[in-house]
Amino acid sequence: MSDSSALSYVHPSPTSPWGTYLSQVDRVLPYLGHLARWSETLKRPKRALIVDVPIEMDNGTIAHYEGYRVQHNMSRGPGKGGVRFHPDVTLEEVMALSAWMTVKCAAVNLPYGGAKGGIRVDPKTLSRNELEKVTRRYTSEIGLIIGPHSDIPAPDVNTNGQIMAWMMDTYSMNTGSTATGVVTGKPIHLGGSLGRVKATGRGVFVTGREAARRMGLDLRGARVAVQGFGNVGSVAAELFAEAGAKVVAVQDHTGTLVNDKGFDMPALMAFSRDQGGIMGFKDGEKVDNDAFWDVKCDILIPAALEGQITAERARKISARLVLEGANGPTVPEADDILAERGVLVVPDVICNAGGVTVSYFEWVQDFSSFFWTEDEINQRLDRIMVGAFDHIWAKGEQHKISLRTATYAVACERILIAREERGLYP
């Protein structure tokens, strides 16, 4: 770790992803009892790997990219977490994302620890050939710490099933046998699972439905605003629309559209898929991106990147229910403001856990070479998500704490019990 990285590790900015995570851990300490003596385990990643990713570009020049793989905690099982390709990826961000994966897996009681990876690159500037080279070189560089029983990557921002196929193939070639279980989120015919693509968005809907029911919010006619219209945001929006809600605002990397009568979701999803974004869709009014936060709605789904709900935006949000489809979209100060205003926030570490849950199903199916139907996948996913949400809601009611702190209380207790029972080696 460089000097600057070490400083951000010890004294991060309070609004940075890692600073946000540390603040969330501090808030849960009073509810951990004797396990609090192990709390520093939660604040220190087990392992952080920084790698150079050199490739020969199509024009014959040599380019170098910086890559990361962080394993935050593996007390409960092998590391699990996505790989993102983005020009703003940093070590501190990947550390935070790996830590949130630790909490997320424990919150839904999966036998995993948390990990995360990334490359600081804009994949849109690469040809398909260059993208494959970057992926394969990165996989080779982190190959010494990943594996079906040690750390299992998955898709994240700007990565997909094709990237996972290249990662699986590279790892398999280097180990001498086909290892389908080394990654999840693969194409179906390479050991992928049915239902995986829509799993995260489906989890957002399921937890949102459960929260709405408990707070007396009828989904029929409810107004929904969605930031981020990828696999997570679009699927969640589609399911809410099918339940009778109206999706009245959508924002993605191309801009913001509003439609007070509610969007035709199948048409908007098809347009976005074909055009690479929502802008230009005929049945929507274009507004400034900042105006998205002023839209009158009942349910807000931030499903883009971290740090989107700031204190200023939290004061303007009209929603009664916020469903965190993205990782870390709400900074701690904004969390407090929303709580004071009576806005219920379903935190990322339970709300968007549908993806890692179906990734777990894929991993299990790969080992057994026996695959389930999509109906079976969805039924199992719904059962796990509803059960986890019930347990967390009860913990919140018991201690009169927010759902975020309740989720951390449930998850951190499971993580630290495993740490305590395993002991320290040597």
User: Helix axis angle, 354-368 relative to 374-399, nearest 10°?
Assistant: 130
Determine, yes or no, domain membership for 210: yes
Q: What pLDDT is recorded for position 16?
A: 87
Which residue bears the tokens 């050939």? 129
Determine, yes or no, domain membership for 246: yes
pLDDT digits (tens, 9 = 90+) for 20-75: 899 999 999 999 999 999 999 999 999 999 999 999 999 999 999 999 999 999 99
Tokens matching residue 225 = 């605003």
Q: What pLDDT is recorded for position 7?
A: 44
Q: Are 103 and 114 in contact (CB under 8 A)?
A: yes
Determine, yes or no, domain membership for 346: yes
Buried b (16+ CB within 10 A) or exposed e, 232-252: bbbbbbbbbbebebbbbbbbb
Domain boundary among 318, 336, 351: 351
The reply to whether omega before 153 is within 30° of 0 (cis) is no
Tokens matching residue 145 = 């710490």
Determine, yes or no, domain membership for 191: no
Q: Let me know if 282 is a catalytic residue.
A: no
In the set 80, 104, 116, 133, the catalytic residue is 116
Q: What pLDDT is recorded for position 195?
A: 95
Residue-range definition of the domain harbouring residue 245: 199-351
Let me know whether 207 and 337 are in one domain.
yes
Domain count, the chain: 2
Q: Are 100 and 324 in contact (CB under 8 A)?
A: no
Runs of H (alpha helix) within 145-303: 161-175, 199-215, 231-242, 265-275
Q: Give the C-alpha distances (Å, rounded to integers) separating 426 from 78, 140, 423.
A: 20, 30, 9
Dihedral of the CA atoms 197, 199, 202, 208 (nearest 10)?
-130
Let me know whether 101 and 221 are in one domain.
no
Domain boundary among 351, 373, 389: 351
Whether the predicted pLDDT of 155 surpasses 90: yes
Q: How many CB atoms lie within 10 A of CB 95?
A: 26
Q: Read off the CATH number of the domain in which 119 is found.
A: 3.40.50.10860
Domain boundary among 304, 336, 351: 351
Whether the predicted pLDDT of 378 surpasses 80: yes
Determine, yes or no, domain membership for 332: yes
Let me know whether 234 and 347 are in one domain.
yes
Let me know whether 159 and 205 are in one domain.
no
Provide the whole-model pTM: 0.93
Between residues 89 and 15, which one has the greater pLDDT? 89
Let me know whether 163 and 209 are in one domain.
no
Q: What pLDDT is recorded for position 9?
A: 61
pLDDT band for 10, please (50, 70, 90 cuts). low
Q: Read off the CATH number of the domain in which 283 is found.
A: 3.40.50.720
pLDDT band for 123, please (50, 70, 90 cuts). very high
Question: Cα–chain-centroid distance for residue 173?
Answer: 29
Let me know whether 139 and 238 are in one domain.
no
Let me know whether 208 and 346 are in one domain.
yes
Let me know whether 165 and 100 are in one domain.
yes
- What is the C-alpha separation between 122 and 125, in angstroms, rounded? 6
Let me know whether 217 and 127 are in one domain.
no
Determine, yes or no, domain membership for 15: no
Let me know whether 206 and 301 are in one domain.
yes
pLDDT digits (tens, 9 = 90+) for 383-426: 999 999 999 999 999 999 999 999 999 999 999 999 999 999 99
Q: Any idea what DSSP says for residue 176? A: T
- Of 242, 199, 224, residue with least CA distance to 351: 199
47 forms beta bridges with 71
Whether the predicted pLDDT of 6 surpasses 70: no
Determine, yes or no, domain membership for 79: yes
Determine, yes or no, domain membership for 14: no
Q: What are phi and psi of 195, to 5 degrees?
A: 85, -5
Q: Are 139 and 169 in contact (CB under 8 A)?
A: no
Let me know whether 55 and 156 are in one domain.
yes
Let me know whether 219 and 295 are in one domain.
yes
- Of 273, 279, 217, residue with least CA distance to 250: 279
